[in-house]
Amino acid sequence: IFGTGLSGLVGAPLVGKAIEGLPQLPIPILADIPVVGALVFQHDIMAYLAVIMVALIAWFLKYTRAGLVMRAVGDNHDSAHALGYPVLFVRLIAVLFGGMMAGLGGAYLPLVLTPHWAEGMTAGRGWIALALVVFASWLPWRVFVGALIFGGITIMQLAGQARGWTTPSQILAMLPYISTIVVLVLISRNREFALANSPACLGRIFHVGK
């Protein structure tokens, strides 16, 4: 809530002004591949960075000591504390990193998707991101696949308007949020899937003196 209000205050001078977005960076040779080249290898630096970050985070969580410590804190913070790991510090770093990535996701909207800034332009997409993490059961590569699915549903709105679909634009704009609700309802019906791979201590308060 604070971030939404602060962004509206700081960004007020930019309302109604065009923003120079990030340029596309086609990868030589690969970008010339028919169909696939335009879909995969002709994007901006943030799109490439998103894919790289998925791979790095998956590697970090599975193959590094720090990643194992972070997973241990998420699964059982009492045991991690007993082993001498700084639970609160690890949690702080995780929250700060998550906030940084969320900020990059928000910055993508005015820098690439729509080259202008307007207050509230995220339009609740952060909640879709949270639903996506639950849908992917906290696994990075599943998040990547789920993001492609949700992104495809979102882009249907723009594609439909460009191709003159008779479907009202309001219904097309609702699709990402409707799909999010449907996914959450289906997940909530299967508690085992909802809890699969989720940190056991998610949302649990850690007391330092415990």
User: What's the Cα-to-Cα distance from 175 to each of 160, 168, 170, 180, rounded to whole Å?
Assistant: 12, 12, 9, 8
pLDDT in tens, 192-204: 766 667 888 888 8
CB under 8 Å to 18, separation ≥6 — which residues?
115, 116
> Which alpha helices (H) appear in the chain, and where do they start and end?
2-10, 36-40, 45-63, 65-75, 77-82, 87-108, 125-135, 140-162, 169-189, 191-195
pLDDT greater than 80 at residue 2: yes
What number of residues does the chain have? 210
Mean pLDDT of 166-183: 77
Would you state the pLDDT for residue 196? 67
Residue 133's nearest CA partner among 144, 123, 124 is 144
Global model pTM greater than 0.95: no
Round to whole Å and give the CA distance between 120 and 5.
9
Query: What pLDDT band is residue 210 in, cutting at 50, 70 and 90?
Result: low
The answer to which of 24-33, 41-50, 104-113, 186-195 has the lowest mean pLDDT is 186-195
User: Residue 15: beta bridge partners?
Assistant: 117
Query: What pLDDT band is residue 3 in, cutting at 50, 70 and 90?
Result: confident
Range of 11-25, 27-41, 65-79, 137-151 with top mean pLDDT: 65-79
Domains of the chain, by residue range, sit at 1-122, 124-210
**Does residue 183 contact residue 136 with C-beta atoms inside 8 Å?**
no
Mean pLDDT of 44-58: 93
Rg (CA), the chain: 20
Q: What is the mean pLDDT of the chain?
A: 84
Residue whose structure tokens are 């696949």: 145
Would you state the pLDDT for residue 189? 75
Round to whole Å and give the CA distance between 206 and 130.
22
pLDDT greater than 70 at residue 209: no
Number of alpha carbons in the 13 Å side-chain half-sphere of residue 113: 16
